[in-house]
């Protein structure tokens, strides 16, 4: 892992210990994209809630359908780590599926669409976290080419193994009570057709919003919201000059965090050691870095899915929302 040190399993206590137990039981491995967030345990729990409830709990779509979405989103976000993990998992679940060119199955059922969108939101979030904090592959860099394929397939088989359907909503107990009682934000109205998923995502985004407020001043958070509204989440180019223009009106003391959040949202693979070092010099510890990156990643994910939902007209009209 890069930039932060997660809580070792042997040192985990209370909520983090409960998270690790549930993660290993339901996912099969102590997944690094969740474990790396444990310096800010509320972010680790929230990300796990989104992952578990969208990808692992039984729904109308199959697990293979959802893994295909996860792999396709990860490929679009240039997240080779997640492509490798979830492509291998997809191959174990459905050997006939082309993990090199995964396609989300077209759906017309509104609940199936919510399930696909929930996976999209989760991986728009996780891909950005992984690009900042993890290497390009879960396999050791020293592993010979001849054994990388078998190792990859073995990892996919472990994650894809049938452990029975996880109990819906059981992960929510890992989140603070205020997050579990949070009202549904407008940008999650697309999930109204599935109350379980909408409740889980609402709790997850509420916890991450609170974490962002702890780590980032309002000036930085407002900047990212304005920037995404104007430019969207697409990559801005091969260099980072656009970031300097975007942060120039911020106080000098918070510009490092401004750069970190903007890059996480739009070009997470461009967050280098220099960006993190500048945040460290400005006083950010591991917990602050995790909270800042988690908030920026989730804010970008929410913007992406809400924009797609609005563009395709998938959000139910007000009268339909009231009937569901």
Q: What distance in Å separates the CA atoms of residue 82 and residue 124, rounded to the nearest whole number?
A: 11
- Please say whether the beta carbons of 128 and 260 come within 8 A: no
Termini Cα distance of the chain: 43
Helix (H, G, I), strand (E, B) or coil at 39: coil
Between 110-133 and 63-76, two packed helices, what is the crossing angle to 10 degrees? 50
Is 82 among the residues known to form the active site? yes
Residue 195: DSSP 8-state: H
- Please say whether the beta carbons of 197 and 115 come within 8 A: yes
Helix (H, G, I), strand (E, B) or coil at 252: helix
Structure tokens at 185: 């934000």
Structure tokens at 244: 């300097």
Q: What distance in Å separates the CA atoms of residue 79 and residue 74, rounded to the nearest whole number?
A: 5
Closest CA to 78 of 186, 234, 221: 234
Active-site residues, by number, are 82
């Amino acid at each position: 892992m890069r930039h932060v040190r997660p809580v070792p399993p042997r040192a985990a206590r209370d909520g983090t210990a409960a998270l690790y137990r549930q993660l290993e039981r339901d996912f099969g491995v102590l997944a690094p994209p969740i474990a790396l967030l444990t310096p800010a345990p509320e972010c680790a729990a929230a990300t796990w809630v989104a992952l578990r409830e969208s990808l692992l709990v039984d729904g109308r779509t199959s697990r293979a359908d959802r893994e295909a979405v996860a792999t396709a989103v990860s490929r679009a976000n240039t997240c080779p780590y997640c492509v490798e993990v979830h492509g291998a998992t997809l191959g174990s679940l459905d050997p006939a599926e082309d993990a090199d060119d995964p396609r989300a199955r077209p759906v017309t059922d509104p609940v199936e669409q919510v399930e696909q969108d929930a996976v999209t939101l989760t991986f728009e979030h996780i891909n950005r976290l992984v690009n900042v904090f993890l290497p390009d592959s879960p396999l050791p860099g020293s592993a010979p080419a001849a054994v990388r394929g078998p190792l990859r397939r073995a990892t996919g088989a472990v994650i894809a193994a049938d452990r029975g359907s996880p109990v819906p909503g059981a992960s929510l107990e890992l989140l603070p009570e205020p997050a579990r009682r949070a009202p549904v934000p407008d940008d999650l109205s697309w999930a109204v057709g599935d109350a379980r998923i909408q409740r889980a995502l609402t709790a997850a985004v509420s916890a991450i919003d609170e974490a962002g407020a702890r780590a980032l001043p309002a000036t930085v958070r407002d900047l990212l919201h304005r920037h995404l509204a104007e430019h969207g989440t697409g990559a801005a180019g091969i260099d980072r000059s656009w970031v300097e223009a975007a942060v120039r009106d911020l106080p000098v003391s918070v510009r490092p965090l401004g750069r970190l959040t903007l890059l996480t949202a739009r070009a997470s693979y461009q967050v280098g050691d220099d960006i993190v070092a500048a945040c460290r010099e400005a006083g950010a510890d591991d917990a602050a870095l995790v909270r800042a990156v988690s908030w920026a990643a989730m804010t970008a994910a929410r913007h992406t899915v809400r924009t797609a939902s609005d563009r395709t007209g998938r959000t139910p009209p007000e009268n339909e929302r009231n009937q569901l």
